[in-house]
Every structure is written in C-alpha cells, then in structure tokens.
Chain A
Amino acid sequence: MEAKKIIRFIWEYFKINLQSAMDYRTNFITQSSFMFINDIVWVIFWVIFFNKFPIVNTWEFKDLMIMYVIIDSSWGLTGVLFGNFMNIAETVRDGQLDFYLSLPKEELSHLLVSRSRYDAWGDLLFGIVLAIIFLPLHLYLLAILLVIISTLIVLAFAIILGSLSFYIGSSVEIAKQGIMGVLSIASYPFSVFKGYAKFILLTLIPAGFISGIPVNLIKKFSWNWFLLMILFTIILWVVALVLFKKGVKRYESGNLINIRV
C-alpha cells in the first residue's frame, strides 16, 4: 500500500516537473537536445575505435551500443524522475532537509523527485533511439526490466554516497566524484576488466551491475546472474535506506526557512 502511494506521488511530481519544464521551454530544449548531441559524439568515438579494433575482449560494437541503451536509459530515467539524486549530500550539508521533514510526505522520495534534470531527457531519448536501432524486438521486455533495475542501483548508490553527509559533515565531493566515477566506468566495455578490478566493480563500486551485467544478460541470459543482480539491488537499497533513515535521526536542523514558489 505504501509503495503504491509512493509510486503515485512520483507520478504526480513527474507531471509537475514536466509542466515546469514546459514553462522553461527554451532551456529544456537546449539542455536535452545538446545532451542528445553529446551522446551522438560518444557513439562516433566508439565507431572510430571499433573500426580499428573490431573486438575488445569478446565485446563488439553492437554490444557497446546495447550498453549505451542500458546506461543512457537508466541514467536518463534516474535524472527525469529523481533529478535531485546528485544533490542529497549538499541538501544535508546545507541544512536544507528541514523543508522535506516538515511535510507529511516521506522525506527521501520527496527529496529525490523534487527536481527533474532537463539534460536527462536527452539521455533517455538517446537510449530509446539506440534500442530501436540495435535491440531485437523480442528482447525489449528484458531490456526494460534491466533498465529499471539499473536505475534502482544508480539511485541507491547515490543515496548511499549522499547520506554520508549525515555522518562526516560533508560528502558533497565524494558523492559528486563517486557518482560520476561509477557512470564513467559503466560507460566503457565491461569485458576489459579482469580479476580484482572486476570483483570491485561488482561489489564496492556497482558499475558492473549498472551496465556490464545487463549487456551480458541480453547477449546470453543467465538466471544465476539475473537473480544475483536482483539480490545485489536489494542489498544496496537496504544499505541506502538504513544509512539515510539513521542519518535523518542524527540530522541537525539548519534553521533555514525556505519558501518554494
């Protein structure tokens, strides 16, 4: 029941954010279209690279494009629906959490959905376009499922890093570099990582589960890896929620009065 309420809440906020985007139409179109162009330039880079090196540790160009379907869609979805995910640490550090705590809605979901990133629309659209070009129709359902799981992992990781602000004063820089670091690693062929590097990317830094494992599952489905991915997501969310909720209890108000118009 609670989950249903939260999903409804996310949907209502999504509509408000969309209306707001339409009010700032020029800004919205500029940011989203330039992000789309930005993504195209990345693909051009990989076209050049794979033209010279057609196979990189079992990965071909098409695999990389599927990776972009997953990473751009999940990154885009996170930014569109939960656009404040990059600002958790800053909100806590600056004592601006008061606004969310003083309202009856659940504070974490409210904090996350209270902003939508315009550039994320460009990523999401690019992911969809690549899916239409490179993904066979019968794999759409699996891809959508993997994008949702991948989105949840990105979100949980951002909550964990952002919540560190409750404990260490400020985790703004750690969160910023950590999230961008994970995104960067997840944007390169997972097949090049071996041994301890691969182990770290499937545990401490979840980049492997954000894009590499989903690509492998689309290439060749494995129940073991699929269930492991779900288990990993659940563990990550438990850690994220415990860190955030315990952190809120330690939180000291910034005595800021915010008026949101």
Chain B
Amino acid sequence: MRKYFEIGKINFLNYINYFGEFFFKALFILLILFIFVNIWKAAYAGKAVIEGFTIAMMMWYLLFTESIVTSTSSVIKEVNKEIQGGDIVYQLNKPYHYILYHLSRALSYRAIGFVVTFSMGAILVWIMVGGFNFNLLSIPAIIIIIALALILDFFMIMSIALLAFWFEDTNSFRWVYDKFLFTIGGMLIPLEIFPKWLSNISGVLPFSFVAYYPAKMFVNFNVNELLRVIIYQIGYIFIFAVLAFTIYHFGSRRLNINGG
C-alpha cells in the first residue's frame, strides 16, 4: 500500500509542474459553465426553483460534476499505447501491480485537476449566479464520496482501456462511456430533470455514482442518503475492480515476449 502512495506522491509532484495543462483544461470547463448559465437562465425564465434546485444550486451542481468528470487523466491513451507498443512488458517484472500503479497515477492527476477546475469555476459561478446554502459540516463526507467516485470512474475506464489487448483502438469506447456519464450519469443535468422511469434506472447505474450523487450531496447534503451512496460506490468499485483485474489477467496471457 505504501509503495502506491509513494508512486502517487511522486506523480503528484511531477504533475504540479504541468500546471498550464490543468489551467487550459479548466478554461474549457469555464466555457461550458458559461454556456450552461445561459441555458439555465433561459430554462428557469422567472421560476425560482425547479425540482428542488435554484439556479445557483444547479450551476454549483454542474461545476461539481464537471470538476469530477473532466479531471480524468489520459489513462486510456497510456494503456492503449503501452499494450499496442509492447511497453507493458517492462512493467510486468516491476514490484507493483500494473493496474494499481495506474490508479495511483490517475488519482494524483485527478486530485490536482479537480481542485484547479473547481477553484477557477467557483469564481465564475459565484460571479454569475452567487452562492447557495452550503453545509460546512458535510466537507469530510463529500471528500470521501469524491475519492470513491474517482476510484469507481478509474476502474470503469481501466476495464475499457484493457480491451486494447483485443482491440486496436479503445478510445472510441471511451467517447460513449463519457456520454453515459454526461447524460444518465447526471453530469449535465441532475436526474430530477429526467422522466421518472429514466431517473429510477439511472439512479442505480454506476455512472450516477461518479457524477450525480457526489454533486447532489454537495448542493443538498442528506445524511440519510450518504450511507446508501457510499455502500453503492464501494459495491460498484468492487465489481469493476474484479472486472478490470480479470480482463488484465486474460489479456496479459496474450502477450508474447520475444527477448530484446
């Protein structure tokens, strides 16, 4: 466990040096937030509250989901390159597990990405729609939920990335995965806006535990729902971790090492 923490720490310090990359990424998110402020202003059109959300809550919700989802690292591209290029074999004899190594790297990258995007976005959202009634005591619980959301997202992405053992390009699978997060994951709009039947289905799928629930907890903390969300997140992490390790197990058996 300690070695993965050290890998994460080293990568964290390394990523900090590439602050510009995070900054540019965050600028793009500001643009999306700006678009949605305009869309929501048109949609609210005089209404104070829609499905329990004021316009300010709706924008803080969006900032939160965007900060989680767009903090994603380039793990798919890296894994794709390592498998296709054969560099993965150099990692087989290292004293760490390939998947957990990437998890450490991804989490350190995403921690910076989340903080930069959220901080920059918070200024914009505050200026455009103001604040909301935030429960300060919820901060420790929110941090746990964010961490679990990032781990869950990682294992789902890793399960896709490892398909590179069989497919030439897994990036296209990623587009569709992302769109699931955007839509039924509740990244762009909360599930309350969905028709009831779709909201019920989306509410138990893993995507909503990456985006919707963490952001919902942030804007409208509910201690009764907290435990349920954490249990679901841990359950899904377990399922997708098993899936990723299984795919890796079978995929790595296809490797041919020809010396060199």
Contacts and interface: CB of A to CB of B under 8 A. Distances in A.
A45 B188 contact: yes
A56 B39 CA distance: 8
B1 interface: no
Q: Name the residue among A24, A38, A44 with the largest chain B CB count within 10 angstroms.
A: A38
Given A30-B169, A31-B169, A184-B31, A193 B38 contact: yes
A27 B35 contact: no
Given A26-B168, A42-B179, A189 B20 contact: no
Interface stretch (B4-12, B114-122, B138-146, B189-197): B189-197
B89 interface: no
A258 interface: no
Given A181-B31, A188-B39, A41 B167 contact: no
Nearest to A44: B183
Interface in A3-46: 24, 26-27, 30-31, 34-35, 37-38, 41-42, 44-45
B223 to A, nearest CB: 29
Interface in A87-134: 119
Interface stretch (B75-83, B170-178, B239-247): B170-178
A181 B26 CA distance: 12
A119 B172 contact: yes
A138 interface: no
Contact of B175 (A34, A51, A188, A189): A34
A48 B24 CA distance: 31
A52 B43 CA distance: 9
B183 A45 contact: yes
A170 to B, nearest CB: 11
Nearest to A34: B172
A41 B182 CA distance: 9
Nearest to A58: B42
A140 interface: no
Q: Summarize B's interface: helix, strand, loop or mixed.
A: helix
A27 B194 contact: no
B88 interface: no
A53 interface: yes
A177 B39 contact: no
A27 B170 CA distance: 10
Interface string B147-182: 000000000000000000001110011011001101
Contact of A56 (B43, B168, B189): B43
Contacts of A30: 167-169, 172
A34 B176 contact: yes
Q: Summarize A's interface: helix, strand, loop or mixed.
A: helix
Interface string A137-178: 000000000000000000000000000000000000100010
A184 B176 contact: no
A51 B172 contact: no
A228 interface: no
A38 B176 contact: yes
B167 A49 contact: no
Q: Name the residue among A30, A180, A189, A197 with the largest chain B CB count within 10 angstroms.
A: A30
Nearest to B169: A27
Interface string B5-28: 000000000000000110010011
Contacts of A180: 28
Contacts of A27: 168-169
Contacts of A31: 169, 172
Contacts of A248: none
A52 to B, nearest CB: 5
A78 B168 CA distance: 24
B179 A184 contact: no
B160 to A, nearest CB: 11
A41 B41 CA distance: 24
A57 interface: yes
A49 B34 CA distance: 18
B123 interface: no
B127 to A, nearest CB: 14
A135 interface: no
Contacts of A51: 195
Of all A-B residue pairs in the complex, the 3 with the closest CB atoms, nearest first, are: A34-B172, A41-B179, A192-B38
Interface of A: 24, 26-27, 30-31, 34-35, 37-38, 41-42, 44-45, 48-49, 51-53, 56-57, 119, 173, 177, 180-181, 184-185, 188-189, 191-194, 197
Given A119-B172, A177-B28, 6 more contacts: A49-B193, A57-B42, A177-B24, A184-B35, A185-B35, A188-B39
